[in-house]
Amino acid sequence: MSETASPGIEKSEQVERRWATISIVIVSALVVMAAFAGIHQATMPQTRIETVDPRTLHIAGEFIESNLGSALEADGSVTVRAVGQQYSFTPQCIVVPTDTPVTFRATSADVVHGFLIEHSNINTMLVPGYVSSITTRFATPAEVYMPCHEFCGVGHEGMWARIKIIDKAAFQKLAADRRRLDCVAQ
Amino acid sequence: MSEEKLFSLRNRWFTGAVGLTVAIAAVAALFGFVLLPSLQTGATFADTWDKICTAAGLVRPTTLVSPVIKPDFQTSEVIVTPQMMGPTDTVSIGRGATLALRCTMCHGARGLSEADSPNLAGQYETAVYKQLQDFKTGARTSAVMSPRVTDLSDQDMRDLAAYFAYLPRLPGYHPTGDVPAPRIVISGAPLRNIPPCAACHGAIEYKTGAAWLEGESPVYLKAQLEAFATGTRRNDISQQMRNIARNMTPAEIAAAAEYYSRQPAAAVSEAAGLK
Amino acid sequence: MLHNKKLILAHFWLAFGGFGFALLLGEWQMYIRSPLHAWLGNPELYYRSVTAHGTTMAYVLPTLVAMGFGYAITEAALKRPLIGRKWAWAGLGLVLAGTIVAIIPVSLGLASVLYTFYPPMVGNPFYYIGVVMVVVGSWIWVALTVINLHAWKRDNPGAPVPLAMYANTAGALLWAWTAVGAAIELLFQIIPAALGLTTTIDAGLARVFFSWTLHAIVYFWLFPAYIAYYTIVPRAIGGRLFSDPMARISFSLFLVVAMPIGVHHLFADPQVGAGFKFLHSAFTALVSLPTLLTVFTICASVEIAGRLRGGKGALGWLKVLPWDNPLMLAVAFSFVMLGFGGAGGLINMSYQLDSSIHNTQWVTGHFHLIFGGAIVIMYFAIAYDLWPHLTGRALTSFRLMRAQLWTWFVGMIVLTFPWHYVGILGMPRRMAFYDYTDPAMAGEAASVMMSVLGGAILVVSEILFFTVLIRGHRAPRVEAGEYRFSVATHEPHSVPAALNGFGLWVSLMLGLTIINYGFPIAHLMALRDTSVPVVRVGGAK
């Protein structure tokens, strides 16, 4: 049996090449789609790495207790600051407006946590020592859950926060009175 | 034939594979490190090199956009880590025993109170230390405790903590069939952000700074939970207990306090030095 | 002809023994967190079980199958007894010892850290030491595989390496390199913390090291199954392997691209730059290529079998395939599950789509389908194919084998399809119980119960599996003959050097590791202030 120029081999090599080409086209199409989605910013990984000391979150810096919650920025966007710890998020009830860029900035005080917000793009990890930052836009008012979705210890199953998405105008009114908002008392 | 050299520019497999790999890596890198960051709205970069460095993950110092809102009350300043107390030594315990003589009036001769002050016998070191620190800074206030800690140094507080931790602890006492263990204690209420108490308070797992609850006065436990729930007590770092207590109903608070306080009377009396 | 039957049998029995027990744990877990059971009084028991289940299924079962099957290939493909018998037994002993050392603290609740370790949570040091022992035991197998191939090549200069051995060695080399990431994490970060030698740990860096291992390990698991696709199935169903070079290219591609793509497990993490996330995403897209090639080649090979049996027409050859042959059923089921599982993987691989399902139950459903389904069903098939050669007795209960494979397939579908669905609904992972009475979760209750049913079917399948294997030890003696592999339609007389050795592919793998992982790791190591306090678990009461 010769390995050169037998018609059977040639034919099968042609079929192989055709399939390999199709496969490469499929794979390239997937990559282009991912890049396209990235360009049109359905959601993007956070731009920069920031570090923070989990031991002193409550003593000084961005994540002290009184600085947590939703803050209306000068440019109209909203920054939500939160801390994850065993076994709750603070603020436990986060209020955000519709139709506004909302950036969540959060970190962990102890172990690895993570959270997702139902019916939204928000899905991120909280690694102690690093600040997570993720931006989204909410379309309609709703009340949804924000569970911790990364194993963080034996109380992990009890770590659920709430998000209240309220009308943009209502949020602006609330923000006029207080610098940091949350819906914890409700 | 396989006499051919593999790592040679004349080998089509070599040039093809290496060339393709390098090409793919280069295109992907161009995209990921230059093009995609350029299309990010809202991100400010000094120049292309800054874009590349940031995309690679170099930590750049960030200037805070908005100023930090300071609290209008004293928060706990204790740095709580599992390693915060250091190894125990008998000298420290001895010093603590001496200091503790002034505590016996309310907290009992052997750290077991006959009033509704908390039992301190066998309490976790970190819990005792933290509460003393918080009383001193004013993060936690009590008409009874606040004046008593003003002259305690950091080492004094460590010594007291070591001493009380060394005393025999009250074990949990929950005879079955008596009253069933309340669901709020055993399983919590997940969607109300209430994990099982034992997940932090030691019976399943211990979270540094939490207190051992077994055998505490029900009056004291109930009062503390209510204080957390209303925000009157707020020395819990980043609201970790307030988050839990405020979602408990009054009935659940009462049930939890009752559950943890349950002690065979004999055990308490005997340990407190009564017969 | 297999010379070290006892050695290979020992590997398989240990693998399946662990698997059998871990499967029961898995079904218990499924049941415990479903609406069918009240909230577990001590949630730590659930996490303990997840740790044991995950560790056994991820680190013990596939490692032992790869090793045992690997030794069988080394002897049967190279047609000579294994060099280094004593070392092989020592390696097995180390794996067994490591498993025991690891499982004891886990069973006692001292190391409920899950098989992904989760620093800064750190448990009893013996859990981690046990895992390291298992890995070292498997590295002995890697060394023996390379040594045996080298000796054969020296004695057969210029001859094409038999495909099965080529693939086996590729898998071994891939495993050796990919295990390094978790090994570094364990040896330099976690074990020192567990022993109390350090009190802080960089959790972000640890996760990057673990990601180095985490993705490629699934390709290590997959190698035995793919080897079976190429070298066993065509022979077993009376067909031919469509293309030998395509097979080699697929395995070589895995060797290069499987490993330096782990950051796609860290898409949502804050300690890796966005540029590297995209780079890994692009290369992850590449790793779907060898699977696509495999799907084609194997379908073509199966078609050959069909045509040789007289099948006509575009699809008519499907009907005449030997469906009563368990190997035929296994590969068909495997491909169906591979199709769905692979599609799920394509979703996971892009940052944007991953954002919808990261850390939801979708992820768990995905890897149970692709690994527990597509791959493990081929482990069963490999066992069935090898058994007569290992035991010297016939496997005659074809009906039982088919029933076992059917129940595994159906059970996997019923288990994992609803599982994917609840993930899309947003159900978070790794919780010991859920409140299904809330309207937000009520929609998930029915699906979770279906998964419980699927798991129960898998338990039945497992019982059938053991029945077949045990009967295989008691059946009448039979001479199984030489263990043969599939023959290609065009058997190669010579193979390009690139496809007959690993120098090129290993170099590319190392180079890509440096490009894709070098900077992220170096930069995190250089950061001074990102080590955080270690949180010891399983201790204080």
| Residue whose tokens read 């972000």 | C204
* C336 membership: H or E segment, kind and range: helix C326-349
Residue C142: its pLDDT value, please?
A: 98
Residue A31 pLDDT level (bands cut at 50, 70, 90): confident
Query: In the block, which residue shows the tokens 């009520």?
Result: C442
* B10 Cβ contact list (under 8 Å, min separation 6): none
Q: Residue B191 has what DSSP assignment?
A: G
Answer yes or no: is A80 within a domain: yes
Does residue A100 sit at the B interface (CB-CB below 8 Å)?
no
Tokens of B27: 């295109």
Enumerate the residues of chain C whose CB falls inside 8 A of the CB of residue A161.
none
Residues in chain C: 541
Same-domain pairing of A171 and A90 = yes
With respect to residue A135, please indicate whether it lies within any of the assigned structural domains.
yes
Closest CA to C418 of C380, C457, C459, C381: C457
Contact criterion met (CB < 8 Å) for C44 and B54: no
A184/B246 touch (CB, cutoff 8 Å), yes or no? yes
Residues A84 and A9 grouped into a single domain: no
Asked if the Cβ–Cβ distance from C491 to A1 is below 8 Å, we say yes
Q: Is B122 on the interface with C (CB under 8 A)?
A: no
Say whether both A68 and A27 belong to one domain.
no
Number of structural domains (chain A) is: 2
Q: Which pLDDT band, with edges at 50, 70 and 90, does B269 fall under?
A: low
List of chain B residues whose C-beta atoms are within 8 Å of the C-beta of residue A41: 39-41
Give CA–CA dist A130/A49, Å, rounded. Answer: 7
Say what angle helices C203-214 and C519-526 make with each other, to 10 degrees.
Answer: 160
Question: At A94, is the secondary structure helix, strand, or coil?
Answer: strand
Confidence of residue A186 (pLDDT cuts 50, 70, 90): low
Amino acid at position A60, single letter: A
- B41 has a pLDDT exceeding 80: no
Burial class (CB in 10 A: 0-12, 13-18, 19+), C299: middle
Which member of A3, A121, A132 has the closest CB to residue C493? Answer: A3
Shared domain for A23 and A104, answered yes or no, is no
- A65 in any annotated domain: yes
State pLDDT tens for residues A160-171: 999 999 999 999
> Looking at the structure, do residues A29 and A82 belong to the same domain, yes or no?
no
Under the banding of pLDDT at 50, 70 and 90, the label for residue B162 is very high
Share of chain A above pLDDT 70, in %: 94
B45 at interface of C, judged by CB pairs closer than 8 A: no
Whether A127 is covered by a domain: the verdict is yes
Average pLDDT over chain B reads 89
- The lowest-confidence range among A94-98, B57-61, B141-145 is B57-61
Is A3's pLDDT higher than 60?
Answer: no
| Residue C518 in contact with partner chain B when CB distance is under 8 A | no
For residue C504, the one-letter residue type is L
Note the pTM of the prediction, 2 decimals. 0.94
Residue A76 is part of a domain; what is its CATH number?
A: 2.60.40.420
Find out whether A109 and A54 touch, Cβ atoms under 8 Å: yes
Are residues A13 and A33 both part of a single domain?
yes
Q: Kindly state whether residue A100 falls inside one of the protein's structural domains.
A: yes
> Do A36 and A61 share a domain, yes or no?
no
pLDDT of amino acid C541: 47
Q: Is A183 a domain residue?
A: no
If asked whether residues A67 and A5 sit together in one domain, one would say: no
Could you tell me if A38 and A81 lie in one domain?
no
- Residue corresponding to tokens 């599939």: C486
Same domain, A86 and A138: yes
Poorest-pLDDT segment among A9-18, A151-160, B200-209, C75-84: A9-18
Dist. CA C343–CA B12, nearest whole Å: 33
- DSSP H helices in C350-391: 351-357, 361-367, 376-391
Is the minimum CB–CB distance between C196 and chain B shorter than 8 Å? Answer: no
The residue that leads in pLDDT, A12 or B274, is A12
**Measured distance CA(C497)–CA(C158) in Å, rounded:** 9
Task: State the virtual CA torsion across B31, B34, B38, B44 in degrees, nearest 10.
Answer: 140
Q: Which domain holds residue A165?
A: 54-177
Which pair of structure tokens corresponds to residue C517?
């992982």
Which is it for the CA torsion A4, A8, A11, A14, positive or negative?
Answer: negative
Mean pLDDT for chain A? 90
B85-112: per-residue pLDDT in tens? 988 899 999 999 999 999 999 998 888 8
Q: Which of C42, C153, C502 to mutate to test the interface with B (most CBs of B within 10 A)?
A: C42
Q: Does residue A47 sit within a domain?
A: no
Q: Which residue ranges in chain C fall short of pLDDT 50?
A: 541
Contacts of B47 (CB under 8 A, 6+ apart): none
Three-class secondary structure of residue A85 per DSSP: strand
B-proximal residues of C, 132-171, CB under 8 Å: 158
CA distance C15 to C9: 10
According to DSSP, residue B205 is labeled -
Contact C103, C75 (CB under 8 A): no
Torsion of CA C359, C365, C367, C370, to 10 degrees: -150
Residue B180 above 90 pLDDT?
A: no
Round to whole Å and give the CA distance between C452 and A152. Answer: 25
3-class SS of residue C418: helix
pLDDT(B275) > 90: no
Q: Give the pairing type, strands A101-108 and A130-137.
A: antiparallel
**Cα B213 from Cα B229, distance rounded (Å):** 17
**Contact status, residue A112 vs residue A132, Cβ threshold 8 Å:** no
pLDDT of residue B253: 97
Spatial CA neighbour of A183 closest among B195, B225, B243: B243
Whether A62 and A139 map to the same domain: the answer is yes
Angle at C268 between CA C263 and CA C273, to 5 degrees: 60
User: Is the ipTM, as predicted for this complex, more than 0.85?
Assistant: yes
Same domain, A81 and A23: no
A101 domain residue, yes or no: yes
Mean pLDDT check: name the lowest of A10-19, B117-126, C427-436.
A10-19
